[in-house]
Amino acid sequence: MGMAPRHPLGHLLALDRPGVRVRTLVQLRWAAIGGQLAALLTVGLWMGFPIPWAPTLAAVGASVSLNLGLQFLYRRRDRLDGGSALFHLGFDLAQLSVLLFLTGGLANPFAILLVVPVTISASFLSARATVLLVSFALLILVLLWRWSLPLPWTAEGLDLPETYRLGILLAIALGMIFLSLYAWQVSHEARRRQAALVATQAALERESRMGALGSLAAAAAHELGGPLGTITLIARDLEDSLRADPLLGPDVQLLAQEVRRCREILAGIAARAEAEDPFPELPLPALLHEVVEPFEPTRVPVDIQVMWEPGGGPVVTRSPELLHGLHNLLSNALRHARGRVKLEAGETTHEIFVAVRDDGPGFSPDVLPRLGEPFLGPSFSRSGSTGLGIFIATTLLERTGGRLTFSNLPEGGARVEIRWPRSDIEGATQSRAEKELQ
């Protein structure tokens, strides 16, 4: 009962989408059942048109039975996998086609509802499942166009011209295909963006954990300092008392030596951890050197060009978003560069900017307008990159207030520029100093 049973079609079709929640499918089917009963009662009882009650109510009853079975076999939060969901949507198409066959076929205005199961499939299932369901729906359209009982009407009946009925078939078929393509594209983009955002969050959490390790190391070093100080005092007393002892003297001296070594190790850990504080403020040129350091040595040298004197530059916050975003952009430039990469930084009265330039082939013109979106596909570069790295960098740097611009250089190569308003990128220390000067 805890896990939703898998339908055998799921393995056969190898559907790669997460399926649909049982709760969603049940609610949609109850809405369809209510609409079908309302339409039948209105047309048959209130308007007085002849309805074949036994078969139509049997078709509605089949949907009721299936929905009750779903509620009994599954929990509301369970999901139907691709094959099972496809089976249920195919049943809905078949059940609706039976009702339409009994009540006029394509002459029935409610024939447009055939597009609903197809649209649901395009929103939740794979492209393969949607193609199968669309093919089934098109087959149903053709069958209803050729064979159906008369539309419930007056004694004289309503005989629509063949050409008009063919037009209805084409209109519903085209609407079905268009809506399924549109819904699948929108849901596919949403799934890709969600996956990319998950990857972005994972990268950011990794950076945060690395910073937290430094803080934890510093705390552990300080906490261990107290007990180790006591051990040091005792070791010194033992060393003074037993140094001349031929049996215990060497052991006591070794103990004192190891205690001093432990103190040196803890002092070094504390110093490194404090130097690697996760969110210190430091000059922007120093941060750029930190971004470049993991890539050295590399086959392609990285030139850092800044407009400030050594030791100068605006003070910025060393946040995980800023570090990881610049790291991704530099990594992408190094991967495509032929012989050199430049990391430039400067400032204006109101903005601070950083630019990454390389001498590689540049961005492809067809993907240049879409850079910053997730999963651009293998056309992004000759190496088959998907563009996820640039999407992560864009997302992280925009969190810091930056705005990215992608372009190709006239002499060849790519350029990515990030610009921040000074108030967004500068650290609190420098901001306070500027306010005091004002």
Q: What is the mean pLDDT of residues 367-395?
A: 65
Please state whether beta strands 79-80 and 315-317 pair in parallel, antiparallel, or not at all (unpaired): unpaired
Pair of tokens at residue 102: 């009994």
Return the residue matching tokens 């990268």: 203
C-alpha torsion angle, residues 42, 46, 50, 51 (rounded to 10): 30
Cβ 52 vs Cβ 83: under 8 Å? no
Give residue 202's pLDDT.
Answer: 67
Which CATH class for the 281-437 domain?
A: alpha beta
* Ranges 66-70, 313-317, 350-354, 430-434: which has the least confidence: 430-434
* Beta-strand relationship, 341-347 and 302-306: parallel
CB 22 within 8 A of CB 4: yes
Q: What is the pLDDT of residue 432?
A: 41
pTM of the predicted protein model: 0.47
How far is CA 300 from each of CA 295, 304, 306, rounded to the nearest angstrom?
9, 13, 19
Q: What is the mean pLDDT of the chain?
A: 78
Per-residue pLDDT tens for 69-122? 888 888 767 777 777 888 888 898 999 999 888 888 888 888 888 888 888 888
Domain ranges, ordered by start, for the chain: 8-160, 203-275, 281-437
Average pLDDT over residues 235-248: 77
- Whether the pLDDT of residue 250 is over 60: the answer is yes
Up-side HSE of residue 403: CA atoms within 13 Å toward CB?
A: 6
CA distances from 328 to 237, 333, 353 (A): 56, 9, 17
Pairing between strand 79-80 and 20-21? antiparallel
Per DSSP, 169 falls in state: H
- Whether 111 and 43 have beta carbons less than 8 Å apart is answered as no
